Amino acid sequence: MKNALALVVAGAALASMAGCIVAPARPYYGGGGEYVAPAGVVYVAPTYASPGPGYRWEYHATYGWGWRHPERGWHRGWH
């Protein structure tokens, strides 16, 4: 009886925490698709975390890969 009660409590705790596990939010790229680099461009992974919400890792023709926000522009002042 004691083991059954412990099992019920553990199951209830696990079930209540199941809602806390969510997939990370996908950034908006417009049109619902993933960002695709132009042909011939090698993907370079970010070396630091996103500077804030809404930024996405994108390719810039002059400066290479960087964080870009749709309203604030490029992080670190790229144009």
Instruction: Please check whether residue 59 is in contact with residue 37, taking contact to mean a CB–CB distance below 8 angstroms.
Output: yes
Domain ranges of the chain: 52-79
Q: Cβ-count burial of 67 within 10 angstroms (0-12 exposed, 13-18 middle, 19+ buried)?
A: buried
**Full-model pTM:** 0.50
Per-residue pLDDT tens digits of the chain, which is 79 residues long: 778 888 888 777 767 766 655 555 554 444 555 666 677 788 888 888 888 898 888 888 888 888 888 888 887 766 5
pLDDT of residue 24: 52
**Tokens 């809404």 map to which residue?**
54
